[in-house]
A and B are shown apart, each in its own frame.
Chain A
Amino acid sequence: MRTAVVVFPGTNCEHDVVYALKSLGGDAELVWHREADLSDFDGVILPGGFAHGDYLRTGAIARFSPVMAEVDRMSAEGAPVLGICNGLQILCEAGLLPGALIANRDLSFICRPVDLEVVDSDTILTREATIGQRLTIPLNSYEGNWVDTSGTGRVALRYTDDPNGSQNQAAAIANAAGNVVGIMPHPERAIEEVLGSADGEVLLGSYLASLVPA
Chain B
Amino acid sequence: MKVTVTINRRPEIADPEGVTVMRALHDLGYTETEAVRMDRVIHMEVVGDDADVIRSRVEEMCLQVLANPVLEDFEVEVAE
Contact = CB atoms under 8 A, between A and B. Distances in A.
Contacts of B20: 107
A179 B14 CA distance: 29
Interface string B44-80: 0000000000000000000001101011000000000
A110 interface: no
Interface residues of B, number: 11
B68 A93 contact: yes
A60 B71 CA distance: 13
A131 to B, nearest CB: 28
22 contacts: A56-B65, A56-B66, A57-B68, A60-B65, A61-B65, A64-B65, A92-B70, A93-B68, A99-B70, A100-B68, A100-B70, A102-B13, A102-B14, A102-B71, A104-B16, A105-B14, A105-B16, A106-B16, A145-B16, A149-B13, A149-B70, A150-B70
Interface of B: 12-14, 16-17, 20, 65-66, 68, 70-71
B40 to A, nearest CB: 9
B65 A147 contact: no
A147 B71 contact: yes
Interface of A: 56-57, 60-61, 64, 92-93, 99-100, 102-107, 145, 147, 149-150, 165
A107 B68 CA distance: 20
A100 B71 contact: yes
Contacts of A57: 68
Given A61-B65, A149-B13, 20 more contacts: A56-B66, A60-B65, A60-B68, A64-B65, A92-B70, A93-B68, A102-B13, A102-B16, A102-B71, A103-B17, A104-B16, A106-B16, A107-B16, A107-B17, A107-B20, A145-B16, A147-B13, A147-B70, A149-B12, A150-B70
Contacts of A147: 13-14, 70-71
A106 B17 CA distance: 9
Contacts of B14: 102, 105, 145, 147, 165
A58 B17 CA distance: 16
A148 B12 CA distance: 11
A147 B68 CA distance: 12
B70 to A, nearest CB: 4
A165 B20 CA distance: 14
